[in-house]
Amino acid sequence: MLKDRISEGVYAVISDLYFEVTAGFIITPEGVILIDSFPFPSEAREFKKAVLKETSLPIRYLILTHYHADHSLGSYLFEEAEIIAHEKTRTLLRTEGAKRLAEAKRQNPDLEEARIVLPHITFSGEMYLYLGGKHLRLFELPGHSPDSIAIFIEEGGILFAGDLVMPIPYLADGDVDTMIASFESLKELNIEQLVQGHRGVLLRGEIPGVLDENINYLKAIKAKVSKAVEEGLPLEKVLEIDVEDCGKSRIVMGNMTNYIHRANLAALYRALTGSDAR
C-alpha cells in the first residue's frame, strides 16, 4: 500500500493488492474524512493504520464514491464513521452489492467476515461538507456507474473523481454518453490535482490531456461498435476491435487494459442491440 501526501492534510492511498485502487483521507482539526475503503479486509485495516500513523484524531466521515466492492466493501471496519454516499449507492449496496458479496464469499474465503454497511447520510444532486476548515463539495459524476460521485476539496482544488477517471475508462454498469458528459463537465472545474479511482494522482498539467484522451476513446469505441452493429456483425467480431485503434495503449493499465476494453465493447454492443450476449 502506497500513501501519497498530495497537499496539507490530504492523502491518496493506493492498493498493491487490487489493480491500484485508490482511496484517500483528509485530516482536519475536527477529525478525519475518509474517501472509499478498499475491497479486502486486510487492506482496509492497513488503510486505518495508515491514517492513525498521521493523526490520533477520530475518523468522523467515510464518503463512498460508488457502490462497487473495490471502493466500498471495507466500510464495515470503520464503525466509528458516518458513511456518506449518493442515495442510489444505498439502494445498490442493499441489492446488487449484497448479491455480489454472497457470490464473492463462495470464491474467496478472505471475505468471510465482510458485510455490507449501508450509508447513514445520502444525497442527490450535490452536497456540501464542512469540517475543520475544509470545504468539500460532493456532486454526481455518473458514467462508470449510476451512483458515482466526486469530491472536490475547495482548499487546493483537489478532486477525488472515483472510477470515472481511470487510465482507461470503464463503462461497468454505466453509460457511454453519460460518461462523456461527465468528462466534459470536469473541464469547467479549476482542478489542481485529480485523484483517479485507480492508479493514483494526476497533476494540473496532465489533466486536460487525460480528459480529452478518455473522451476520444469513448467516442471511438461508440463509433466502431455502432458501425459493426449496422453491418450485422456478431459480438465475437466486435470484441476483435483493437484498443490501440481506439486511441489507448494496450499497457495503459497493465493486464487489465484488454479486459476493460473488451468489457466496454460488450456493454456497447448489448446497449445497441438489446442483447444479453456476453
The span from the CA of 63 to the CA of 236, in Å, is 39
Cell 473488451 locates to 262
Asked whether the beta carbons of 241 and 221 are under 8 A apart, the reply is: yes
- For 171-226, what is each residue's pLDDT tens digit? 989 999 999 999 999 999 999 999 999 998 999 999 999 999 999 999 999 999 99
Query: What are the CB-based long-range contacts (under 8 Å, 24+) for 58-61?
Result: 58/31, 58/32, 59/31, 59/32, 59/33, 59/34, 60/30, 60/31, 60/32, 60/33, 60/131, 61/31, 61/32, 61/33, 61/34, 61/129, 61/131
Q: What is the pLDDT of residue 69?
A: 94
Query: CA torsion sign, 152 to 74 to 23 to 61?
Result: positive
Backbone angles phi, psi at 148, to 5 degrees: -65, 140
Q: What is the pLDDT of residue 19?
A: 84
Buried b (16+ CB within 10 A) or exposed e, 108-117: eeebeebebb
The span from the CA of 146 to the CA of 141, in Å, is 8
Mean of per-residue pLDDT scores for the chain: 96
CB atoms closer than 10 angstroms to residue 62: 27
Share of the chain above pLDDT 90, in %: 94
Residue 55 pLDDT grade (very low, low, confident, very high; cuts 50, 70, 90)? very high
Q: How far is CA 117 from the centre of its chain?
A: 18
Share of the chain above pLDDT 70, in %: 99
Q: What is the pLDDT of residue 85?
A: 98
Give me the amino acid identity at 232.
Answer: G
- For 128-164, what is each residue's pLDDT tens digit? 999 999 999 999 999 999 999 999 999 999 999 999 9
The span from the CA of 170 to the CA of 264, in Å, is 6
Q: What is the pTM of this model?
A: 0.96
Residue 277 pLDDT grade (very low, low, confident, very high; cuts 50, 70, 90)? low
Is pLDDT of 28 > 80? yes
Report helix angle 176-186 to 207-230, nearest 10: 160
Give me the amino acid identity at 127.
Answer: M
